Amino acid sequence: MTDPAVFSDTDLSHDGFLGGRLTLAQPRTGYRAGVDPVLLAASVAARPGQSVLELGCGAGQAFLCLGARVEALTLTGVELQPPYAELARQNAAANGIAAEVVCADLEQLPDRLRQQSFDHVIANPPYYRAGAHSPAQDAGRRTALGEATPLAVWIDTAARRLTPKGYLHMIQRADRLPDMLAAAAGRLGALEVLPLAPRVGRGAELVILRARKGGRAAFRLHAPLVLHAGARHERDGADYSAEVTAVLRDGAALPWPQR
């Protein structure tokens, strides 16, 4: 009998990330990562020796991309769904990246985790409020895309787990930005928002929020990062901008404009 807590080999594809520096197993029909977790990982200015916690790590795409770019990080992931948590463990091992993955609800973290603090917390929470979109048939995609735990709880959990002066990075839909800013008020400071626009002249569909525990700098809304070259898609194949191509293909960092 197949263990319901793991994916079978036939359930999985093996996909290259960062120009082949990482090969990650992903479910063929469940939640599959696009560029969002890769951009999230690229936005984190982590340094060797620092600690990183990812809330809702899925199969590990974001924190493993970060671990592939920055050596000697202490990586921890929290994932609600047992098959994805186990897949994240397997992906870390297969790529030779040391990481701990804890299967838990972020509202009920184990005592050991609640006693830890981290230099960085990253998160790619579900994009849609409960009832705001048609639910996916696949349970994994339904959990990954549809909000069950309020966004404010994600930010509260992140704030509690950060060290003083530690950073949260979170990627979300642009229309959820007011919710993120409201949740961060009084908990996190030095807020910065990097909008992600699909093309020149198009409105941002996603944003990356950077916030610092104990930060006092004024709020900053940066110019959008444009994901694709040109005003429209004119040929087959990827047409990412040079800056985004460097992230996706070469594992480059995504530098934030200086304050």
Pairing type for strands 12-17 and 22-27 reads antiparallel
The verdict on residue 57 lying in a domain is: yes
Range of the domain at 81: 9-28+36-188
> How many separate domains does the chain show?
1
The residue assigned the tokens 């090969």 is 23
* Mean pLDDT along residues 34-51: 97
* CATH code of the domain covering residue 138: 3.40.50.150
> Percent of the chain having pLDDT more than 90?
78
The verdict on residue 229 lying in a domain is: no
* Mean pLDDT along residues 121-135: 74
The verdict on residue 182 lying in a domain is: yes
Q: Angle at which helices 151-161 and 177-184 pack, to 10 degrees?
A: 40
The verdict on residue 166 lying in a domain is: yes
- pLDDT bucket at 33, cuts 50 / 70 / 90: confident
User: With contact defined as beta carbons under 8 Å apart, do 101 and 92 qualify?
Assistant: yes
The verdict on residue 218 lying in a domain is: no
Task: Say how many C-beta atoms besides its own lie within 10 A of residue 104's C-beta.
Answer: 14
Q: Residue 2 and residue 146: Cα distance in Å, rounded?
A: 27
User: With contact defined as beta carbons under 8 Å apart, do 106 and 78 qualify?
Assistant: yes
The verdict on residue 253 lying in a domain is: no
Distance from first CA to last CA of the chain, Å, rounded? 57
Minimum mean pLDDT range among 58-67, 90-99, 187-196, 249-258: 249-258
Q: Residue 32 and residue 60: Cα distance in Å, rounded?
A: 11
Report pLDDT for 145.
44
The verdict on residue 21 lying in a domain is: yes
Report pLDDT for 6.
81
